[in-house]
Amino acid sequence: MSAKPYVSLYDPKGPARGLRSLGLFETRFPLATRGSIPGLERIWEKSKDMSWNPKKAIPYATFDQSKYSKEQLDAARLCWSRRAWTEYTGITEVPCMLARLTLDGQMPIHAKFSLAAKIMEEARHCEASVLLADAMGGYIEEPPPGDAIMKMVIAGFRDRMALNPEISPIAGMVAWHIISEGIALDIFAARYKRTDEPVTREVIRLIMQDEVRHVDMGWIFLEHFFPSMSAAEVREIEEVVVDIVENVEMKGFHSMCLLTDSETSVMRQAEAIAGEARLGFCSPEEEHIAFVRSMESIRTRLAKFNIRIPRFPELEKVA
Ligand SMILES: [Fe+2]
Ligand SMILES: [Fe+2]
CA of 214 to the centre of ligand 2 (A): 5
The per-residue pLDDT for 318 is: 63
The per-residue pLDDT for 2 is: 47
Nearest ligand, measured from the Cα of 88: 1
CA of 152 to the centre of ligand 1 (A): 16
Question: Ligand 1 (ion): which residues have CB within 5 A?
Answer: 87, 122, 125
The per-residue pLDDT for 6 is: 47
Nearest ligand, measured from the Cα of 83: 1
CA of 202 to the centre of ligand 1 (A): 14
Nearest ligand, measured from the Cα of 215: 2
CA of 29 to the centre of ligand 1 (A): 32
CA of 209 to the centre of ligand 1 (A): 10
The per-residue pLDDT for 23 is: 86
Q: Please, what CATH class does the domain formed by 26-315 belong to?
A: mainly alpha
Nearest ligand, measured from the Cα of 180: 2
CA of 7 to the centre of ligand 2 (A): 36
The per-residue pLDDT for 119 is: 97
The per-residue pLDDT for 262 is: 62
CA of 108 to the centre of ligand 2 (A): 20
* Three state DSSP letters for the chain: CCCCCCCCCCCCCCCCCHHHHHCCCCECCCCCCCCCCHHHHHHHHHHHHCCCCHHHHCCHHHCCHHHCCHHHHHHHHHHHHHHHHHHHHHHHHHHHHHHHHHCECCCCHHHHHHHHHHHHHHHHHHHHHHHHHHHCCCCCCCCCCCCHHHHCCCCCHHHHHHCCCCCCHHHHHHHHHHHHHHHHHHHHHHHHHHCCCHHHHHHHHHHHHHHHHHHHHHHHHHHHHHHHCCHHHHHHHHHHHHHHHHHHHCCCCCCCCCCCCCCCCHHHHHHHHHHHCCCCCCCHHHHHHHHHHHHHHHHHHHHCCCCCCCCCHHHCCCC
CA of 197 to the centre of ligand 1 (A): 20
CA of 128 to the centre of ligand 1 (A): 10
* Per-block mean pLDDT, blocks of 10 residues, the chain (319 long): 49 72 87 89 97 98 98 98 94 94 93 97 98 98 82 76 91 95 97 98 98 98 96 96 91 80 78 97 92 96 97 74
Q: What is the reported pTM?
A: 0.93
CA of 59 to the centre of ligand 1 (A): 20
